[in-house]
Structure 1
Amino acid sequence: MTRNTVHGAGTERITAAVVREKNGDFIIETLERESDLRLDEVLVRVVATGLCQTDVHVRDQNLPTPLPAVLGHEGSGVVEAVGAAVQTVAPGDHVTMSYQSCGHCRSCLTGYPAYCERSFPLNFGGARADGTNALRDDAGHEIHGHFFGQSSFATHAVATERNVVKVPVDAPLELLGPLGCGIQTGAGAIMNSLAVPAGASVVVFGAGAVGLSAIMAAHAVGASPIIAVDVVDERLILAEELGATHTVNARTADVSASVRDIAPGGVDFALEITGRPSMLTLAVDVLAPLGTAGLIGGAPAGTQAPVDMNTLLGGRTVRGIAQGDSIPQLFIPELIKMHQAGRFPFDRLVTFYDFADINTAVADTQSGKAIKPILRIPTSHTISN
């Protein structure tokens, strides 16, 4: 396999969106990137990157990634160079980038890298695993990068072999980035975490990108009924178009009564994606005996949700879900095949934005105007010093 490895001291200029202060705008800047790649690193020219609510949470410092930082964790692009030890991708390959994991802990070694023991520092620490960083601004100050092992709000991302996924060259590359986080989380919750069988009943609380991905997956595996719960009628309409058999507007209806009207005796599976404690309580309450509620939605540290302990005695289960229990290198290609076969039309969730309009994309996400923004990253010149 031909390699283009990067050697020698020096830097390369890239363009990136930098957030410098809590609640601040993303600022498009020129940064310096170390030209040397570590043995396991992969340099990706970013073609496009999804915008996720997690990026906004970090911008607002609801999650403690240090600032200033380059965020972005749903990138797709073309490999430009690889470290000397990289075996699975080569320059010219099309890839998506996903979450980071260590590969050595018990969770990673048993096939559950989404629950890596070092998950938080590797994905939110703003540096490599050894604490170093590849990015500096023009004044020579460190800019925190390596967010989710990529920092894809940039023309180039330094990823690793563990968190890049080779994808077919005939797949629409600029569309694929969100498969690395939000979309694989929703679909994986149904297909991997809960292993929902055909004919099972499912309710999904929250019809954003993750929830709608879960609904598409539930439809693909033959679940029925599939109930979507949200407060935005337009999203509920889209949920029906993507496979929901029933919808409930939580702003105007009694959700518990509505769900039980649709599924007498309760549902087999419930997914809570809103991060609201009352919704997790409700998700457990509407379960049938032996049903399972999966929690995806994040909440501030220390948030608690009341659950009737006697409800759990009916064989009901509550479990948390990270990244849809996905091994990205295995699951993302399957989602692409499903999309190509017309069974997983996640392109219906997407709105494209120019990279320069990143703050507009954030505003549209927060207002509900956009479900899954994708930023198109322009090709940038590189200058070696």
Structure 2
Amino acid sequence: MNVTAAVVRGKSMPFAVEELELDDLRPGEVRVRMVATGVCHTDAIVRDQVYPTPLPAVLGHEGAGVVEAVGSAVTSVAPGDHVVLSAASCGVCAQCLSGKPMYCENAYDQCFGGRRPDGTTALSSNGEAVSSHFFGQSSFATYANVVERSVVKVPRDAPLEKLGPLGCGLQTGAGAVLNELRPEAGTSLVVFGAGAVGSAAVMAAKVAGCTTVVAVDLHDSRLELARRIGATHTINSGSTDVVSELKKITGGKGVDFVVDTTAVPGLLTQALDALAIRGTIVLVGAAAAGTTVPFEIGESLLKGWTFKTVIEGSSVPQVFIPHLVELWQQGRFPFDELVRTYEFEAINEAFADSADGTTIKPVVVF
């Protein structure tokens, strides 16, 4: 069938809205009619070839839509189901089989390879192969053939035009707190970067019962929103000494938990300086391969601190995303306050607004 898709044809080029051909479903795939899809920083760095998915490609990995058809081997969804799309995993490696699909041993090929395991691509343009199955989905298109392990069934009364970001960015921030850190009630947590991922971490910290929740960012508008959704304190890192302010907020103790969404080495160094004894730093931001951070290991040995890298909130999407939807329905995870919608033809505007901080979480609607 023919579909309309946003195609990246060269490094750092704008998205071009084109007509493409979508091939037939494979046994383990689900055809989804897209209602909306989030715009994520990962799409931008792949467009710019920081992660080299073969071009031309259709990106997009925060899809939400309605199941149109299923392959012969699919059992988890049926036509008419409402779904959110998340990251792909192989399902057969040791990590997947032990309940940790976000650390799939074949994750790079599954999410960034641009091809099925047999080397085929679902999308083409007049015989030219176009990379598909980005994160198992390639949701910057009106329809997609999606691997079953990327598909998460959600309630029909939840608004699909807003749910897409749960598939990656919001899952990442919330899961880093609720699945990985699991802070005790009454503890302190600071989030570096109050974008979509960081905002999700702020909301999750409130859900977990953290009594000191600090958001750090350069944009005052983001910090104002962070206070509305759960932050007890905010710091503008462009005008304030972050470490001294965090020490002041915590009475000199330092913070128990840090979620860094920026992957800026200097900020990670500050995070260590502000960390409490037995504190934990979680990095969820994506940096270019080879990026390093210098950590002091003399005096800091006495802290017994922990540094972790976390992918997609260490979640099982089919379990965790429905939990987030339920929290939203109860008014405890107000992620819709982050969302601004854009028509599909304005996808490049959505990326620009995300890059300059105008919009925290752009969502393209079809």
Within the alignment, does 1:42 sit opposite 2:30 as a pair? yes
* Secondary structure of 1:300's aligned partner: coil
TM-score (norm 1): 0.93
Query: Could you tell me which residue of structure 1 aligns to residue 103 of structure 2?
Result: 115
CA distance in structure 2 between the aligned counterparts of 1:250 and 1:132, rounded to whole angstroms: 47
Query: Could you tell me which residue of structure 2 aligns to residue 100 of structure 1?
Result: 88
CA distance in structure 1 between the aligned counterparts of 2:108 and 2:241, rounded to whole angstroms: 37
1:213 Cα offset (Å): 0.4
Task: Kindly indicate whether the alpha-carbon contact (under 8 Å) linking 2:279 and 2:306 is maintained by their aligned counterparts in 1.
Answer: yes
* Secondary structure of 2:36's aligned partner: strand
Query: Could you tell me which residue of structure 1 aligns to residue 116 of structure 2?
Result: 128
Task: Kindly indicate whether the alpha-carbon contact (under 8 Å) linking 1:72 and 1:152 is maintained by their aligned counterparts in 2.
Answer: yes
CA distance in structure 1 between the aligned counterparts of 2:135 and 2:145, rounded to whole angstroms: 11
Match of 1:292 among 280, 290, 303: 280
Match of 1:333 among 319, 322, 332: 322
Q: How do 1:242-281 and structure 2 match up within 5 A?
A: 242-263=229-250, 264-281=252-269
CA distance in structure 2 between the aligned counterparts of 1:314 and 1:197, rounded to whole angstroms: 19
TM-superposition CA deviations, 1:305-333 (whole Å, max 9, x none)? 01111314421000001000010000000
CA distance in structure 2 between the aligned counterparts of 1:253 and 1:177, rounded to whole angstroms: 35
CA distance in structure 2 between the aligned counterparts of 1:74 and 1:337, rounded to whole angstroms: 18
Within the alignment, does 1:351 sit opposite 2:351 as a pair? no
Query: Could you tell me which residue of structure 2 aligns to residue 55 of structure 1?
Result: 43
* Secondary structure of 1:370's aligned partner: coil
Q: Which 5+ residue runs of structure 1 have no aligned equivalent?
A: 1-11, 378-385
* Secondary structure of 2:303's aligned partner: coil
Task: Kindly indicate whether the alpha-carbon contact (under 8 Å) linking 1:150 and 1:159 is maintained by their aligned counterparts in 2.
Answer: yes
Query: Could you tell me which residue of structure 1 aligns to residue 65 of structure 2?
Result: 77
Question: Residue type of the partner of 1:129?
Answer: P
Within the alignment, does 1:13 sit opposite 2:17 as a pair? no
CA distance in structure 2 between the aligned counterparts of 1:250 and 1:356, rounded to whole angstroms: 35
Task: Kindly indicate whether the alpha-carbon contact (under 8 Å) linking 2:22 and 2:144 is maintained by their aligned counterparts in 1.
Answer: no
Query: Could you tell me which residue of structure 1 aligns to residue 192 of structure 2?
Result: 205
Question: Residue type of the partner of 2:148?
Answer: E
CA distance in structure 2 between the aligned counterparts of 1:312 and 1:162, rounded to whole angstroms: 41
Query: Could you tell me which residue of structure 1 aligns to residue 19 of structure 2?
Result: 30
Query: Could you tell me which residue of structure 2 aligns to residue 5 of structure 1?
Result: none
Query: Could you tell me which residue of structure 2 aligns to residue 189 of structure 1?
Result: 176
Task: Kindly indicate whether the alpha-carbon contact (under 8 Å) linking 1:284 and 1:318 is maintained by their aligned counterparts in 2.
Answer: no
CA distance in structure 2 between the aligned counterparts of 1:376 and 1:171, rounded to whole angstroms: 15
Query: Could you tell me which residue of structure 1 aligns to residue 162 of structure 2?
Result: 175
CA distance in structure 1 between the aligned counterparts of 2:182 and 2:362, rounded to whole angstroms: 28
TM-score (norm 2): 0.98
Query: Could you tell me which residue of structure 2 aligns to residue 368 of structure 1?
Result: 357
Task: Kindly indicate whether the alpha-carbon contact (under 8 Å) linking 2:182 and 2:208 is maintained by their aligned counterparts in 1.
Answer: no
CA distance in structure 2 between the aligned counterparts of 1:281 and 1:313, rounded to whole angstroms: 17
Q: Which 5+ residue runs of structure 2 have no aligned equivalent?
A: none
Q: How many correspondences in the alignment?
A: 364
Task: Kindly indicate whether the alpha-carbon contact (under 8 Å) linking 1:240 and 1:247 is maintained by their aligned counterparts in 2.
Answer: yes
Match of 1:233 among 203, 220, 224: 220
* Secondary structure of 1:96's aligned partner: strand
CA distance 1:352–1:316, shift in 2 (3 Å): same
Task: Kindly indicate whether the alpha-carbon contact (under 8 Å) linking 1:16 and 1:28 is maintained by their aligned counterparts in 2.
Answer: yes
Task: Kindly indicate whether the alpha-carbon contact (under 8 Å) linking 2:187 and 2:256 is maintained by their aligned counterparts in 1.
Answer: yes
Task: Kindly indicate whether the alpha-carbon contact (under 8 Å) linking 1:271 and 1:283 is maintained by their aligned counterparts in 2.
Answer: no
* Secondary structure of 1:186's aligned partner: helix
1:248 Cα offset (Å): 0.6
Within the alignment, does 1:302 sit opposite 2:290 as a pair? yes
TM-superposition CA deviations, 1:33-73 (whole Å, max 9, x none)? 112x1111000000000000111111111110110000000
**Which portions of structure 1, spanning 4 or more consecutive aligned residues, are displaced by more than 4 angstroms?**
none
TM-superposition CA deviations, 1:8-29 (whole Å, max 9, x none)? xxxx111100010111110111
1:130 Cα offset (Å): 2.3
1:157 Cα offset (Å): 1.1
